[in-house]
Amino acid sequence: MSYARTILLIGCLCLLAACGKTKPAPVDARDLDPFADGALCAWHIGDPDAGRELFERPVLAGTGGCTTCHSLEPNVKLVGPTLYGVAATAATRHEDITASNYLYLSIMAPNQFVVDGFPAGVMPDGYATELSEEEVTNLVTFLMTQNPIE
C-alpha cells in the first residue's frame, strides 16, 4: 500500500473513531482497497492457511478473534453473522464491489457495510491498524475459500 493511501486510511479511521456511534460517512472503496483497481484480487495472492490461523486465533489485534463473533457453520449466529459461504454472499452485497474487496473493506472499515439485523459499532475497528497488509490479505484469502457446499 502506498504511503499516501496508508495516511488516508489512518485519517479515515481516526475520523470514524471520533464519531463514536454515529453512522460514518461512506468510504470510497477505491481509496482504501489496494485491490480495487482490478489488477489484483486479494484472494489470488494471499495464503489461505495463514488466514485460517488468523481467523481461529482467540485474540486478534488485541481484541477478540474472528471466531469470538463469527461461525463458519450454516445458520449459526453468534455476535456477528455466520461466515458460512461468505465468499458467495459477499459477491452479492454491492454490485460495484467484488467479493474480495467487500471482505477487505469489512475488515478495514467494519462500519462501512453492516449486515441487516446486526448493530453497527460492534465489530472492532482496530484491525486496520493492528494487522499488517499481509495478514489482512491472508484473512481475505481464507474467507474467499468459504463457499457453501452444494
Does the pLDDT value for residue 23 go beyond 80? no
Q: Which residue has the cell 460495484?
A: 96
**DSSP, res 37:** T
User: CATH fold of 3-143, please?
Assistant: Cytochrome Bc1 Complex; Chain D, domain 2 (1.10.760)
Mean pLDDT of 108-128: 89
Q: pLDDT per residue over 61-95, tens digit each?
A: 777 789 999 999 998 989 999 999 999 999 888 88
Position 56 confidence tier, pLDDT thresholds 50, 70, 90? very high
pTM: 0.70
Helix 99-108 crosses helix 133-143 at what angle (to 10 degrees)? 130
Strand segments, DSSP code E, in the chain are 59-60, 63-64
Q: What is the pLDDT of residue 129?
A: 87
Q: Taking Cα atoms as reference points, which of 83, 54, 84, 63 lies closest to residue 148?
A: 84
Kindly list the domain boundaries of the chain, sorted by start residue: 3-143
Q: How large is the average pLDDT for residues 11-28?
A: 47
**pLDDT interval class at 44 (50, 70, 90):** low
Report how far apart, in Å, the C-alpha atoms of 32 and of each of 18, 62, 81 are.
19, 22, 23
